[in-house]
Amino acid sequence: MTLHARHSLLALLILTTPLAACAQQAETPAPVAAPAVAQSAAPQLVTGLPDFTQLVEQVGPGVVNVEATVGSRRSAQAGEEADIPEIFRRMLPPGFQMPGPGQQGPQRRGTSMGSGFIISADGYVLTNHHVVDGADEVKVTLPDRRELVAKVVGSDQQYDVALLKVEAKGLPTVRIGNSATLKPGQWVVAIGSPLGLDHSVTAGIVSAVGRTNPYTAEQRYVPFVQTDVAINQGNSGGPLLNTSGEVVGINSQIFSVSGGYMGISFAIPIDLAMAAVEQLKTTGRVSRGQLGVQVGALTADVVKGFNLPDNRGALISEVLPGSPAAKAGLDPGDVIRSVNGRAINDSSDLPPIIGAMAPGSKVTLSLLRDGKIKDITVILVELDEGSVATDSLPTPSDRQAPPAGRNTLGIQSQNLDAGSRKQLGVESGGVLITRVEGAAAREAGLVPGMVVLQVGRAKVDSPAALDRELAATKAGDTVMLLVRQRGVTRFLAVTVEKS
C-alpha cells in the first residue's frame, strides 16, 4: 500500500469512528429512566421580617424638611466648631462645615438643613434646637412641596427641642407614642432628610434606653434612646417611630469620629419633648426642677468603703448651700435609692427624673444613710444652670505645710485661709493637700491642691482632724475621702497600703 493510500485510510478511520460510536449508541436499548425524586422546598430560615411600606405611607405626609438661614456670625461660629474633632457630634449639615486652609467655602455656609414633624393640624412643628439655633429665617417644606415661613415659638438647648409654627390649616399630623415603653431590641424607623435627601427611610432596633451623654454636661437631663438606625446630617429633628407608626423620639445626635453614620444614633424621648412643648407654647422656655446635689456612681470600691449592700443608687458628693437638698438635711455620703417610689439604679438616672419635674413639686426621696433607709420630703426649685460654681485651686504653701503627715495614707495638709475658702466656695471645714507620699493615695488620684472635706461621713476642719480620722484605719481598709477639685466635689476610694 502506498504512503498516500495509508494516509487516506487513516483519515477515513478518524472521521468514521465517532459515527460508529453514535450508531452503536443508537442500537443499544435506552435504559429505563429512574423516577424523579421530589425535592422538598427549603425551609424558611428567616420569618416575620417587617414591611414598613404602610407605615411610611401613613406617617410620611406629616414629616417635613426644615431649612434655617443664619447670619454671618452664626456661620463663623459653626466654622470654628467644625475645626474641633467631636466624639459626640451634633448632626449639623454640610453647610455648617467651614473649609480648611486653601479651600473654597461651600455655597450654603449660612443654611442649616434638618427635619421635623407636624404635631397639630393648625401648624405646630417639632424639630431640634440645634437646627434652628440663631436662625434669622426658618422655612418648612411640606411633602407636597409647599414652602412655608415658620416662627420659632420657643427652643430649649438642654432638651435640644424647638417648637415652630406655620400659618396653615388641615395639615397632616403624626401620632405621638409613649417612649417610656421602649425596650432594647424593638424595631424603630426614622424618616428625614439626610444630606438633603428628603423623606429618606431607615430602620433598625432600639439598642438601649436611658443613655446619658458622657461628653457634655449640657444634656445631663436627657435619657437618650440609643438605636442602630442609620442617621446622618439632615436627619436632625426627624421622628423616630415604633412599628405602630407612633413617634417615640426625635433624632438628635450620632456618635461618630468621622461625622458619618457608625451604627450609634441617639434620639430625644418623645415624652420629654412633649412635656417641653407645653412650656414652650406658654412661656417660650423650659423650666426644670432642681434638688441641689451633685452625685456620683457607686463603684465596687465605693460600695466597700461605705459598706453598702449593693451598687444601686446615686451617691451624694455635694449639697449646694441653700438648696432644697440642704434645707431637707441631705448630706454628702447619703445614697438616693428612689424618687417617689421610682428606683434609682445608677447615678445618671437621677438628673432626668428631677429635671422633668416642675419647680415647686414635692418629692419623696428614699435615702440609704449609715445602713438604714430614710424617707425625706423635698420641695424642688427651678434649676439654675449656673448654680454649680467652678474654681481654680490655690497653690499649696510650703511655708504653711506641717511636718510629714503621720496618717496611714501619707497625706500632708494645711488649713484653708479665708481667701481660699471664698475662692473654692467652701464655707467651713476642709484641709488643703500639700503632699501625697503614699502610693495608694496617688494611684487613687489624690494630688496636691485638692481639698479634703470628709473622711467617710466625718467632716474634717484641720490637719489634726484628718490624721485623727485616719488613725483608726488599718492595712487593707478602703477609706472614702470627699475631695474638691476644680469646682467638682466627689468621693475617692483609697485602700490603705500594707506596711
The catalytically annotated residue of 130, 156, 323, 420 is: 130
Q: Quick check: is 130 catalytic?
A: yes
Q: Quick check: is 199 catalytic?
A: no
Whether 238 contacts 63, CB under 8 Å: yes
The catalytically annotated residue of 133, 156, 160, 334 is: 160
The catalytically annotated residue of 155, 236, 317, 348 is: 236
The three grid cell numbers given for residue 437, joined into one nine-digit string: 507620699
With vertex at residue 304, the alpha carbon angle to CA 299 and CA 310, rounded to the nearest 5 degrees, is 65
> Please, is 496 exposed, middle or buried when counting C-beta atoms within 10 Å of its C-beta (0-12, 13-18, 19+)?
buried
Q: Quick check: is 160 catalytic?
A: yes
Total Cβ atoms within 10 A of residue 156: 20
Q: Is the four-CA dihedral 95, 96, 102, 107 of positive or negative sign?
A: positive
The three grid cell numbers given for residue 324, joined into one nine-digit string: 432644697
Q: Active-site positions?
A: 130, 160, 236
